[in-house]
Chains A and B, each alone.
Chain A
Amino acid sequence: MKTAFVLLCSVSLVTISLAGEIVVQKIQGEVSVRQGVTEVWNRIAAGDVLRPDDTMKTGVKGSAVLLVRGESGEAKRITLPQEVIVDLSDIRDLTQEELMLKLTMEKVRSSSYQWKNNELQIPRAAVVHGGNVTSPEGPAQNDPAVGVFRLNGTRVLFENGFYSTCALKSMEVFRLYPALGRKFENRLLVAEALGKARLRGEALNEYGSLLTLDGLSPDQQDLVKARMAELKR
């Protein structure tokens, strides 16, 4: 009961800043949704109304068409191709300021560890860090396929003009799937999204760090440089 109340409050917060409602218009193939922070994927059907904290997944040869109604009532149709995972909360526009804030957060994630001189260290019991694993098998790595699905999802965001959330979500995916973060086309997408989101400086930074990737072909380098030159104009 309490949880529900809490969730209700959070939901009401969410709907204020997000899309009004999301309706599944059309479904083809395997399409499922995972609600909020639950672990279970459920199949959905056309006509279902989804919540912004849901996550949608389309399987092989699956696709879906969503109708997203914004705050002011205008609707947008979004098509999810196969093999994508999209957090519906990402289907929204961020202001440039909000994007900048989020990007700054990304960079300053260790802010909570800045100790001032006059702060006290609380004595603590011995802390055991790191991946202290007791299981003989070792921890399970994140499934790279899931990562690919998620990146496909960020591409959907890009194609539908949600550049901010595209860039942010891509960065999150790279954190969980470091290998994907070393791929040229994935990183390029982020840079392009930042450029489209009119964060020229951030885009340039991203292009710049692209050039440091291992195994770049000369064409890829040229492409990056060309993009950079374009931005600088």
Chain B
Amino acid sequence: MNPGFRILIILGMVMLGSATYGQSLIFPRAIGMGAYGSSVKDSRAFTANPAGLVNIRDWDFSTATYTGVSTTDRGFVFHGLTFGKRFLDREALAFQYAPGTSLTLTVPPTLSIGGSNTPVSNDREITYEEPFAIGFGHAFSGTLSVGILGRLQRQKVMDTQFEIMVRDTTVYPVTSKVSYEAHAWLGDAGISWNASERFVIAVVGRNLIRLGETLLPDAVAEYRLSPTTSVELSGAYIASADLRLVGGLATDASGALGCEWTPGYGLAFRGAVYGDQNETPFLYAVGLSAGWSYEFLEVDASYLRFTSQEGRSGVINAAEFDPRKITNIDLNPYSRDRISFSIRAMFGNVRESLARIESVEMYSAVYPSSFEVFAYRPIGKARVRNISAKPIQARASIFVEKFMDMPTESQAVTIPPGGVADIELNAVFNDRVKDVAAMTIRDASVYANATPAEVYDDRAPARITFRGKNDWDGSVESLRFFVQPDDPDVLRASRDMLLQSRDAKTGSGSEPDAFIRARTLINAFAGQLMYVSDPKQSADFVQYPAETLRLRGGDCDDMSVCFASLLSSIGISTAFVDVVPPGAPERSHIYLLFDTGLDPKFGASISDNPKRYVVRKNREGMETIWIPVETTVAARGFDEAWTGGAQRYFDDVEVGLGLAKRWVRIVDIN
């Protein structure tokens, strides 16, 4: 245990202070635990620390009732009910109506009107109550939350007045009642911090502000309550999965120590002792509580017993009454033993979360040209933690509006209790991605599911960058995705060209069919497509072949993509040759190789000079003759393109050993 926390616990055991602990005693769970500020987890007793409201899952409703244990107690008193609601992911709001939080003091009649039939009424009735409270909590992160609380405190004094009336021949006394009222909205604020997996620390400031305060008039000033500002510190130590120890103390105050044991089957047992330096004896109260929870329902009962009954019998000496001792209307020197019951119910998205997303990381942007890869290649990963006590099969899914028709779910990953796993996310985008003109960043949602239920366990936001459809990340592998042999414009162009020159066969006649077709095609487009050298401006912008055909030109990448598409559309296998000269990456270049399909021993049918062609394996694994084509000079015809390509290839690969030294790469397109 961290030494700092050890000291804190010891301090908690050393009692200081002078007033009663600011405890909310409406709900048995709070009564049974004593220092409740670090254990608020739903709408029950949220006034102990509004920061705990963020633990509400959706709708939370609780109600409580109590009865005294003495013979004079007449039955169950409705203590209060609370409503809480979680909203906006990190906020929660709760409202409490507690007519049972009231203390009424009566001063019996000191003078009675003799001879009259009207019943004698109390000289004075003083009522203190806190009927309403409203709280708000906000979670900054998974471990830190803050909350604010407003409590309406009312004081009423009903006073009996005397009047001496003279009527006809009689002087007679008459009593009348006068009521005085005072109220104030008291503001508290609280913080709850999960310092570690085992420690929770909570700090609550009480009566920090007073709004709309009115005071009882001077005539009854002796009954004025004076709420003073104080700070309560409480901590919880989660000793194990079923044992929670809590302790707390306040600045002007005393404290409490308690524990909660949850052995299983939804049961919970709690016990607490309360201490106050101003009380005798020092440990002035003991609270015991038991509870049972089942699905969305939780019922609890508690017994609060004061160790000394002195002054708690319901009758006290008027001269000893001091309203300054009343710092908490539920728990003060005049409170009596009580038995309480409560019911709590959750509605809405109430299933306890089994998994939590700790972080989401997106690996890369989505290039519309290659958006389909993310169906297989992960687009990112979600780090998911199993926050339940059993192993789970967790799945992560991601969804971005407009570009996906529905969330794409990952494979199931088994996570042991408390464990963490990185789940890779795939994304199946729809065709709308292809229309992205310029880079946009879209918000996406990542969900974690631990059960097959539709409701997810946790949701985290993510951002996905969609590049423009012509955006290119500069790698040859990605360039392949711009090659579209099936594009209607490409097919039309290549087929038209082939049909036109079906009968025009040039060459020696012994050349392979693929070679002839390629030559015909390249010659046909010579003059139609212009090479525009503008490497820096459009280094990461690639035109789709249809665009190049329409614009009738492009840069080195555009031309390579266009010719690769055209050649592929007429059934010729192609490959990119990617050259990045060492030490001169700005002079990187791409040109094409196309497969003649010819066995190397027939190389002579292509050319006598073996430097003009490349022998490499095709996708069937057979070594065939490939022709290098420099697409940037294709505008001048096939021969120039061939010569240029061959020369480059020879210089880069044969002489410069570029392939062996890996600054030349050949990437097959189809």
Report which A residues bind B (CB closer than 8 A): 2-3, 6-7, 9-11, 13-14, 17-18, 34, 36-39, 52-53, 55, 87, 89, 94, 98, 101-102, 104-105, 109-110, 112-113, 117-120, 122-135, 137-143, 146, 172, 175-178
Contact = CB atoms under 8 A, between A and B. Distances in A.
Contact of B480 (A87, A122, A125, A146): A122
B640 interface: yes
Contact of B617 (A94, A110, A122): A110
A118 B602 contact: no
A129 B619 CA distance: 10
Contacts of A128: 513-514, 571, 597
Nearest to A179: B601
Contacts of B511: 135, 139
Interface of B: 370, 372-373, 376-377, 477, 480-481, 483, 485-486, 491, 505, 508-514, 516, 568-573, 575, 581, 587, 595, 597-605, 607-612, 615-623, 630, 632-633, 640, 643-644, 646-648, 650-652, 654-657, 659-661, 665-670
A53 B568 CA distance: 32
A112 B667 contact: yes
The 4 closest A-B pairs by CB, nearest first: A10-B651, A101-B660, A139-B602, A118-B377
A134 B516 contact: yes
Contact of A139 (B512, B573, B609, B610): B512
Contact of B603 (A118, A126, A176): A176
B599 A131 contact: yes
Contacts of B660: 98, 101-102, 104-105
Contacts of B648: 6, 10
Contacts of A53: 611, 647, 650-651, 655
Nearest to A99: B660
Contacts of A142: 601-604
A150 B598 CA distance: 21
A133 B609 contact: no
Q: Which of A38, A110, A133, A172 has the most CB of B within 10 A?
A: A133
A22 to B, nearest CB: 14
Contacts of A125: 485-486, 491, 568-571
Given A101-B661, A112-B667, A176-B610, A124 B656 contact: no
B432 to A, nearest CB: 19
A175 B669 contact: no
A176 B605 contact: no
A86 B367 CA distance: 48
A126 B608 CA distance: 30
A119 B510 CA distance: 37
Contacts of B377: 118-119
Contacts of B477: 119
Given A36-B611, A55-B611, A120 B647 contact: no
Given A14-B656, A18-B655, A133-B513, A123 B486 contact: yes
A142 B603 CA distance: 6
A35 to B, nearest CB: 10
Contacts of B372: 120
B494 to A, nearest CB: 9
Nearest to B618: A129
23 contacts: A2-B633, A3-B640, A10-B648, A36-B647, A37-B609, A53-B651, A89-B650, A98-B661, A112-B667, A113-B617, A124-B485, A124-B486, A125-B570, A125-B571, A128-B571, A129-B597, A131-B602, A132-B597, A134-B516, A139-B598, A139-B602, A140-B604, A142-B602
A189 to B, nearest CB: 19
A122 B513 contact: no
Q: Which of B509, B623, B640 has the most CB of A within 10 A?
A: B509
Contacts of A101: 657, 660-661
B513 A175 contact: no
B592 to A, nearest CB: 14
Nearest to A103: B660
A122 B670 contact: yes
B626 to A, nearest CB: 11
A122 B601 contact: no
A141 B587 CA distance: 38
A135 B505 CA distance: 11
Given A3-B643, A39-B607, A112 B600 contact: no
B651 A127 contact: no
Contacts of A126: 571
Contacts of B630: 6
Contacts of B669: 122
Contact of B510 (A104, A129, A138, A178): A138
Among B595, B609, B644: residue with most chain A CB under 10 A: B609
Nearest to A127: B571
A6 B510 CA distance: 31
Nearest to B641: A3
A37 B646 contact: yes
